[in-house]
Structure 1
């Protein structure tokens, strides 16, 4: 009986000890503490300032927090603390470290610089660069799904009557690029059109009013006056494309595929027209249109001149799935828009940047990197950068004034056609049309073809894919 009591006592003590031990292991000995306290310790150890002006660290705690600090390695220490919460840090020009949410399309400028430095180690001659370029291009084609693209329908494009203005004309177009999927836009032509003309595509960007805005009409009309056939076209699920696909579908990754395909198939159509000189093909666009300018320059060998505006960056690849939703920046074990821009080498390219968006560091970072690639061909002079440090994210007049001479120089256009009596480039003779004149399907969509596809799921099925996004149907 005594032995039984002793055994019971031993068991009780053991259970108590185990319980106490477990309690310690989940509280006292796991060194759990608020992340803000560990960040303060990191500031002291590394003599830095961390800024959390968005309150992203508030209320967050972490087990073994201080154990994650690695002496002598600030970057790893910060990553160890922030990654569990899907956070990261951006080193600012003033030397501080700002806490940010992790975004796959955006890193800090210094991280972008590190990536460029790594990429330069991959090729030091034309042969090595051409091999990498081939690898990236093949991957981009597969990532976009262009290798699975259905044949272009044989339907004739829908064209509206021309409007005639001083030295140019405008007509609207709807081109069936996939069964039931129409790319919509406007074609600006020299008037009269009496000789073969260069072609310029202007993919639209994420600016208010889309392709109907003044700055896009100005540049299309001006380049038509200079002697080019210019095609401005809507983003997927923007403008008249909204008649087929609602605005929320613009953030489907398939949007990037359709937008690349739109440019390629517009060139297919233009190549069949008698007054088109396909040996002179330019592309220019701003913001998201700048992304697709780079994509077309990298993928379509018919493109001879590009001018991506406010988009070339080694640390930002576009926050919209229509630019980065297909994972093309994972090609070549990791690339970025600076390297994709460099794929245009050695053909002429103008890079327009400014000081108030993600192109702020182009003169010091991206341009020298791209120029180095052109230098492998001995063609450094064929890539130019116009940097406007006091301007922001737009396709404003100063950016257009940089564009016109460049396109004239490399596409054989006549810049004198757009100069006034003082010898200044003058946009005042261009006519800014109201929205309804730029519609191809009519003011009430009365001319929308009966076969127009309106099912995003069927669009994915054309490429042998399944739409993983689910939307609430509005009633």
Structure 2
């Protein structure tokens, strides 16, 4: 009787398959695990639910769905999950009734799932004491997950400084730091033309945008900070920018990229902290996109950072789509953490989160921001964490995002905003000169000044880490 009921329940699905291929229903059985080509199953889903699924021949070639006919469910969403999850595949909806097949994205969660995890984390720290115990647990585990416990010895080499330029109210020089034997991180330091006493410094890590730190918006942001009376250090991600003199582009997709970037930022902090004009009480960091993920991690790791501003990056349901953000097991620390909990480790240090309406930060103000306010509230510092949400804007570091950062630095680090405003009180970025990328190179336009000891290739990098 049970078999009859099951067969009756399967009849609509079997009939749909029969319409596509009358022989298919009877050709599949348990001996063959009801296996069907993935392409065929996707077409069946299209027919049954009246949708379009975009995929390439390469994505489906040689792939089969076991027990295919048994995986169909009453709803499209349930069917996608049942069919695709065992193959480590998923779909993204591009528009109404149109979907695109993609590999499983471990770093991208449903909004509800991300919020639920953050709620579980919040429930475990109901007061300041339990939260501080949590931070004491997490921080050393983060270093261990990054393979930076203990930190490798610091090379004794001096910074390599080149191409000093004098601009309108600020100066620029390019700097390379050896962070492990033969491993260099490159950047450009923007300073006020005239410096009196101790001044703030802001680390500006690159994001996953074209032209790296040579982009106009990156140069403008750093120069404006210098014209307001602070310093800004713009630097490359691993296997990005000038780092490509030592590595290939595909090396950026290796998990060790996250470790190298973290170590690089620590060495940059070491260098900047030693400058006589640096005010150690006013050291900040602000990056966008992948640079924003790096910003959050570095603030959790290093208490020398006194202000943080992740831009278009922070979300409880998005862990960073590049291995340089999520390649090492940092999110397994403390029996599971997430980006917003790591951002909360900045408390009570000032924090600005900039979000927008057209990427994974779109829902940040609805739930995640309240969590940050709660943690900051334990210190009586809820006003020190702020969110500027730009619902009509997308994933960039455009003027609106830069303005939010300028305002925050004026408010929290006492930069002089009046120096860079026009007669109407608006920020005026026009005096900033956007240079050709070659002007920001440390090692020359063709890498001709790359040090003789520079390692070449990822294999050599792995050897350096093996013997650290």
Given the alignment, which residue of 116, 119, 126 partners 1:117? 119
**2:214 maps to 1:209:** no
CA contact (8 A) 1:200 1:281 kept: yes
Q: How far, CA to CA, are the matches of 1:258 and 1:31 in structure 2?
A: 47
Distance in 2, matches of 1:94 and 1:335, equals 34
SS at match of 1:446: coil
Against the structure 1 CA distance between its residues 53 and 403, is the aligned structure 2 distance closer, same or farther, given a 3 Å change threshold? same
C-alpha separation in 2, matches of 1:97 and 1:122 = 38
Residue 324 to residue 51, structure 1, CA distance change in 2 (3 Å): farther
Q: Note if contact 1:353-1:386 (Cα within 8 Å) is conserved in structure 2.
A: yes
Find the residue that maps to 1:308 and give its secondary structure. Answer: coil
Q: CA 1:90–1:244 in structure 2 vs 1: closer, same or farther (change >3 Å)?
A: closer
Q: Which residue of 285, 288, 291 corresponds with 1:289?
A: 291
2:412 is equivalent to residue 410 of structure 1: yes
Q: 1:298: which partner in 2?
A: 300
- Contact 2:313/2:360, CA 8 A, preserved across alignment: yes
For 1:470, the equivalent position in structure 2 comes to none
Contact 1:149 1:462 in 2 (8 A): no
**Worse overlay, 214-223 or 430-439:** 430-439
Q: Quote how far apart the aligned CAs of 1:89 are.
A: 6.3
Kept after mapping to 2: 8 A contact 1:173/1:185: yes
2:341 alignment partner in structure 1: 339
In structure 2, what is the equivalent of residue 26 of structure 1?
A: 31
Q: TM-score, normalised by structure 1?
A: 0.83
2-structure distance, mates of 1:54, 1:139: 41
Tell me whether 311-320 or 99-108 shows the greater mean CA deviation. 99-108
Measure, in 2, the Cα distance between the counterparts of 1:50 and 1:458.
53
Q: Is the 8 A contact 1:51 1:98 kept in 2?
A: no
Matching residue of 2:53:
53
* 1:99 CA displacement: 6.9
Q: CA deviation at 1:204?
A: 0.5
- State how far apart, in whole Å, the 2-side matches of 1:435 and 1:369 are: 40
Instruction: Look up the match of 2:19.
Output: none
Between the aligned partners of 1:350 and 1:414, the Cα distance in structure 2 is: 18
Partner of residue 370 from structure 1, selected from 369, 372, 386 = 372
Query: Could you list the per-position Cα deviations for residues 1-22 of structure 1 after superposition, in whole angstroms to 9, with x for gaps in the alignment?
Result: xxxxxxxxxxxxxxxxxxxxxx
Give the TM-score, by structure 2 length. Answer: 0.84
SS in 1 for 2:286: strand
Structure 1 residues not aligned, in runs of 5+ = 1-22, 44-48, 467-475
Alpha-carbon shift at residue 365 of structure 1 (Å): 2.4
Q: SS of the residue aligned with 1:162?
A: strand
Please report how far the alpha carbon of residue 287 of structure 1 lies from its aligned counterpart in structure 2 after TM superposition. 0.6
- Return closer, same or farther for 1:263/1:314 CA change in 2, 3 Å cut-off: same
Partner SS, residue 129 of structure 1: helix
Measure, in 2, the Cα distance between the counterparts of 1:405 and 1:95: 43
Name the CA distance, whole Å, in 2 between partners of 1:215 and 1:285.
12
Aligned to 1:268: 270
Cα drift, residue 125 of structure 1: 0.9
Give me the whole-angstrom Cα distance separating, in 2, the residues matched to 1:321 and 1:465. 23
- 3-state DSSP of counterpart to 1:201: strand
Structure 1 SS opposite 2:309: strand
**Which residue of structure 2 aligns with residue 469 of structure 1?**
none
Report if aligned partners of 2:240, 2:249 keep a CA contact under 8 Å in 1. yes
Q: Which has the larger radius of gyration?
A: 1
Question: 2:307, 2:349 within 8 Å by CA — same for their partners in 1?
Answer: yes
Pairing 1:254–2:280 present: no
51-60 vs 115-124, greater mean Cα deviation: 51-60
Q: Contact 1:50/1:97 (CA < 8 Å) preserved in 2?
A: no
Contact 2:52 2:98 in 1 (8 A): no
Aligned to 1:15: none
The separation in 1 between residues aligned to 2:34 and 2:176, in whole angstroms, is 64
Residue 126 of structure 1 is matched in structure 2 by: 128
2:463 is matched with 461
Q: Do 1:252 and 1:321's aligned partners in 2 also have CA atoms closer than 8 Å?
A: yes
Q: How many residues align?
A: 435
The 2-side partners of 1:137 and 1:183 are apart by: 24
Q: Distance in 2 between matches of 1:362 and 1:124?
A: 21
Selected match of 1:329 from 302, 317, 331: 331
C-alpha offsets along residues 96-130 of structure 1, whole Å, 9 cap, x if unaligned? 99875311111222222222222222211112212
Partner secondary structure for residue 373 of structure 2: helix
Aligned counterparts of 2:29 and 2:191: Cα–Cα separation in 1: 79
Post-superposition shift, 1:50?
9.1
**What is the DSSP-based 3-state SS (H/G/I as helix, E as strand, rest coil) of the residue aligned with 1:120?**
helix
The change in CA–CA distance for 1:408 and 1:50 in structure 2 (over 3 A counts) is: farther
Q: Mark the CA change 1:90 to 1:127 in structure 2 (over 3 Å): closer, same or farther.
A: farther
SS at match of 2:364: coil
SS state of the match for residue 287, structure 2? Answer: strand
Distance 2:329 2:203 in 1: 24
- Cα deviation code 1:43-101 (max 9, x no counterpart): 9xxxxx79663359989765555766899x99887644432221346799999998753
Note the C-alpha offset of 1:40.
9.2
Instruction: Deviation per CA, 1:124-174: give whole Å up to 9, x if none.
Output: 111221222222222211111111442111111011242111221101101
Distance 1:332 1:77, change over 3 A: farther
SS at match of 1:241: helix
**Aligned-partner Cα distance in 1 for 2:466–2:216:** 39
Counterpart CA distance in 2 for 1:337 and 1:79 is: 25
1:142 pairs with 136, 141, 144, which one? 144
Asked if 1:427 corresponds to 2:432, the answer is no
Give the direction of change, closer, same or farther, for the CA distance of 1:98–1:248 in structure 2 (3 Å limit). Answer: closer
